[in-house]
Structure 1
Amino acid sequence: MLALKNAIEQSILDGVDWIISGGQLGTEQWALKAASKLKEQYPDEFQTAMMLPFAEFGNQWSETNQLAFNQAKTTVDFAANVSDKPYRSPEQLRNYQEFMLTHTDQAILLYDLESPGKPKYDYERIVKFADSHEYPFRLITFDDLQETAEEYQENLNNSLQDS
């Protein structure tokens, strides 16, 4: 989460005034958690939003995951559904992707090109959108995560040695 927090913080320093994420477990909720912590440091610089692709999003999750989702939702300044209907078709997910691209100025994506998974569809759509729009995006790769972890460990070791 440190690499994601660092990328979000750099965006705030560059003047971003909204951090918008989805509510998926993992990276999307981590982004909102990181942004929430950054609000302590930058209380007036930005706001947060959780945009969901459809109504009743996350209802099928376990109680523990729903609790984490609801907790993340309470930390944002704004939350809404792109579609007001429960999930019915993949078209809602495509509409959600389009909404996110057309209502944001840039993207940060935790993604490894060598190990494509579900984020592959978002990555491909972002790249296609950026081909015809001014839309910068930053990838945080697994190499970036490894580098951040090594830097963190080195700083921790140096801190312990200084004590």
Structure 2
Amino acid sequence: MKQVLVTGYKASELGIFSGKHPGIGIIKKALKKQLQALIDEGLEWVIVSGQWGVELWAAEVALELRAEYETLRLAVITPFLEQEENWNEQKKETYSGILAQADYINSVSKQKYTGPWQFKARDRFLLDNSEGLLLIYDEEQEGSPRFLLELARKHAEVTPGYGIIVISGHDLQNIAEEEQYVDYE
């Protein structure tokens, strides 16, 4: 796949309220490992909608990987204009830093937030304009990614070759245990 949509939980759904939370490093390591494998298979674009949480961590990982893989590009396609309007200053700063380095920035809806329809329009647009989905989601821990996963599964049924890769809680636990083992040595 040449373009992959990367998403997952919002930070708040994971109980992460600080940029220093140790879980972020585990999530980023999982994303990096999977993205490197996809790059080796021809991945060119990482696409996120800029949601606070897994998506922005994925954007940070993509930007780090771009130093090593010069053909990798990052697209931030938001559901509506100024989605960060009500975020705190630290979040806005992180977000604007990512946007400043992104290769492509756009919004599905060319207006500020007016309703939930904008999230549905974003999901449809992003699925239609990617060749696969990389999702951090554990089916045992309900959350907002469930809706996109259901939509992606339906999309994959009618779109030959559309790939869905899910990084589960079990996968993250394995990485955390590997990290502890490395630290222990």
1:100 aligns with 2:99: no
For structure 1, which runs of at least 5 residues remain unmatched after alignment?
A: 159-163
Name the structure 2 match of 1:142. Answer: 169
Name the structure 2 match of 1:109. Answer: 135
1:20 aligns with 2:47: yes
1:33 aligns with 2:78: no
Between 129-138 and 95-104, the greater mean CA deviation after superposition = 129-138
> 1:63-78 maps to which residues of 2 (within 5 A)?
63-78=89-104
Name the structure 1 match of 2:37. Answer: 10
Give the CA deviation at 1:41. Answer: 1.2
What SS class does the counterpart of residue 138 from structure 2 fall into? coil
The one-letter code matched in structure 2 to 1:142 is: G
1:132-162: CA deviation from partner (whole Å, max 9, x where unpaired): 212111000110001112223323444xxxx
TM-score (norm 1): 0.91
State the alpha-carbon separation in 2 of the partners of residues 40 and 156 from structure 1: 26
For structure 2, which runs of at least 5 residues remain unmatched after alignment?
A: 1-27
1:155 aligns with 2:179: no
Structure 1 stretches of 4+ moved >4 Å = none
TM-score (norm 2): 0.81
Greater Cα radius of gyration, structure 1 or 2:
1
Between 100-109 and 54-63, the greater mean CA deviation after superposition = 54-63
Which among 87, 108, 125 is matched to residue 61 of structure 1? 87
Larger relative contact order, structure 1 or 2 (CA cutoff 8 Å, min sep 6):
2
What SS class does the counterpart of residue 149 from structure 2 fall into? helix
Identity %: 31
Aligned residues: 157
State the alpha-carbon separation in 2 of the partners of residues 21 and 72 from structure 1: 11
State the alpha-carbon separation in 2 of the partners of residues 42 and 56 from structure 1: 30
